[in-house]
Amino acid sequence: MIKALGIDLGDARVGVAVSDDLGMLAHPLETISVKSTPVLKRVLALAAERSATTIIVGMPRNMNGTLGPASEKAKAFIEELRRETSIPVFPWDERLSTVSAQRALQEAGRNTRNQRAVIDQVAAQIILQSWLDSQG
């Protein structure tokens, strides 16, 4: 059974999502403020609290599939996580996850201007759900 965390890395905030106990559905969990919280430490704490067996980190890609400059930060974060935990850590294509999150919140009637923290969580949820769907 898969219990996974999904991570949407950002410069100001990091969105986190978690899978349900069946490893089928992703749910928004938390937004970590980069300025006020050590992100790696918090992700590891959430993984322990939620008994995660896998961590999925969004990998920024250009629309043509190539890796862009933002992917270097994601690669470094993944390597740091892998050094600090025995939990498997995998990159996952995050193209358009934030756009999809904004659209989903708008369709739900949420004002996205004042919902940046929620957008990050929903982007993490979209990344994780995509990965979960690929595991079926």
Tokens matching residue 58 = 């969004």
Single-letter residue type at 71: S
pLDDT of residue 111: 64
pLDDT tens sequence across 115-126 = 776 888 989 999
pLDDT band at 18 (very low <50, low <70, confident <90, very high): very high
Does residue 115 sit in helix, strand or coil?
coil
Tokens matching residue 80 = 């740091």
d(CA 6, CA 69): 21
Residue 112 predicted with pLDDT over 60: no
Q: Which domains does the chain have, with CATH numbers?
A: 4-135 (3.30.420.140)
Average pLDDT of span 23-28: 94
